Structure 1
Amino acid sequence: MDQLSTLIYSIPALLIALTLHEFAHGWVSDKLGDPTPRRNGRLSLNPLRHLDPLGTLSLFLFHFGWAKPVMVNPNYYQNKKQGMVNVAMAGPMMNFLLAFISIFAYYGIIKMLRIGLIPMHGGIITSIFDYLLEFLPFLLSYNLGLGIFNLIPIPPLDGSKFLNALLPEQLYFGIMRYERYFAPILILLLYTGILNIPLDFVNDALFNLMKNISLTILRL
């Protein structure tokens, strides 16, 4: 029952993290002159347009995962390689922004409770803030996991786009011929825990940084 009850927090948090991650990719590419995301319906806040079955399952189970990649056409960019880097970074940066908003809002609610700006018992207002105190840690966790994991330079993750900017085209496209095999390999690495130590280290470092900034601003 406890696991079922967490779904009212985890599912909305998961959908927000995935949807805004992919929307950010499409939005930046659109602003760089590429009509492809708009034509493919990826400039949307509808989660169903962005979900990748394996990546969503991975994010739900391990808190690290990915969404369905947004198709872009770098031929529309003035600087193709820099444009690809900007588009690739847009998704993780959106997740890190949402993660910071989540932790700042969480401690902001804690402070308002302490100074009596939020009633402690009863009423719709109290219920809303009670929900947020349970929901925001999920939103923080999924956004950190999605942002960090996608910086790994392995297809289909966003970090692989850096390879396009760094490697000769022939070598890059040679690697991309095997792209369909990488998603199952990533799931296997997460399942076996091989990636846990480096991912958890970065996750904890970013969490502590965001927490300390939030507590400093809020003077808690």
Structure 2
Amino acid sequence: MYTAKGQLDNNTLIRQYSPLVRRLAHQMIAKLPANVELDDLIQVGLIGLTDALSRFDTAQGVQFETFATQRIRGAMLDELRGSDWMSRGSRRQQRSIESAVHKLEQKLGRAPQESEIAQEMGISLADYQEMLSKVRGTQLVYLEDISGDDDSDDYLDRHVGDDTADPMSMLRDHRMREALVEAIKNLPEREGYVMSMYYEHDMNLKEIAAVLKVTESRVCQLHSQAIARLRVKLRDW
């Protein structure tokens, strides 16, 4: 851990603790929408690790990993806040889509079509599809409190910065998995294909677009709409 001059070897420590950065980034990305890039979080996390190395003092009475974890997570959260990862307007639009889907499902007794959702929202089909592209599908099983005016920083502090607010813990529940599988089965055919290819087969938007013979933008719209439908189904779970 030390150089020939008896100083801490930062390069060695960075290599040793880089898996910690990746682990924290994976935990955080699970609570964020698809437009947030994992590599970006990792890069910011490495900066946080470097900062931790320069500031750590054994006299503080804490282990380095504990200290570094706080610095790494803090750096990631600061980056998300600064980059406006999901604007308040986008969250409102997501809630509006979910509300329209819920009302129409209750009224029609089936999954509403895009044109019907657009009409319920009082906008054109083109405007609705553009909205789908902008919101880009929030996290599948998360978990944000859609009943209130969810401020961006509050959302990050309550859900992304909290180790216990892990959406995967919900998926580990057998009943939750059954409810999710059933909800996916009831998606319109093309949206079901998108979800299967994206989550089960780990295909990217370009690959899915090639299979469905549509644009990447259209795949993004289908993904966002599928997420909205699933969130409505799972909301009261």
TM-score (norm 1): 0.27
Larger helix percent: 1
Larger Rg: 2
